[in-house]
Amino acid sequence: MEEVILIAATREDMQTIWQMQTEAFSELLKKYEDHETSPGAESFEKVMARFEQPWTVYYFISVDHVNVGVIRIVDKKDGGRKRISPIWIMPEYRNRGYAQAAIKAAEEKYGPHYWCLDTILQETGNLHLYEKMGYHRTGKIDKVNDRMDIVYLEKN
């Protein structure tokens, strides 16, 4: 597989990231109609506000100088868990191992232990990826609507 690298985004990149996020999550937004929680329904202002948090870094997931996705890392450097929220691969680049490689790259950069994330319980492919990478379910599940639940995972 080609090398996957993480490239820190700048303020100037945020319009592109927001557009990528909207496109990448559009299928899930249509499927689950979770307009309050879906990254596919977020405003540019909300994404920009996250970028401006001192504990947040957005990275392009880059393969051969092509941005195939994005990962946002939240690390408050306070001893608490580091968080991935969100991560996505653009539809035309999925199922090539890029998300797994991006998570490994994030763990190399921030340390391999004490992470958390959440995902849609009904999206079994996402769950499989995270569990394969050592994340385990915490037991906490939030019902979003009749079609969708959010499951929380941690890695120690």
Task: Annotate 17-33 with DSSP letters as a single string.
Answer: HHHHHHHHTHHHHHHH-
Number of domains in the chain: 1
pLDDT 10s digit of each residue in the chain, 156 long? 789 999 999 999 999 999 999 999 999 999 999 999 999 999 999 999 999 999 999 999 999 999 999 999 999 999 999 999 999 999 999 999 999 999 999 999 999 999 999 999 999 999 999 999 999 999 999 999 999 999 999 999
- The residue range of the domain holding 61 is 4-155
CATH number at residue 135: 3.40.630.30
pTM over 0.85: yes
- Are the CB atoms for 97 and 43 separated by under 8 Å? no
Of the candidates 105, 103, 100, 101, the one whose C-alpha atom is nearest the C-alpha of residue 116 is 103
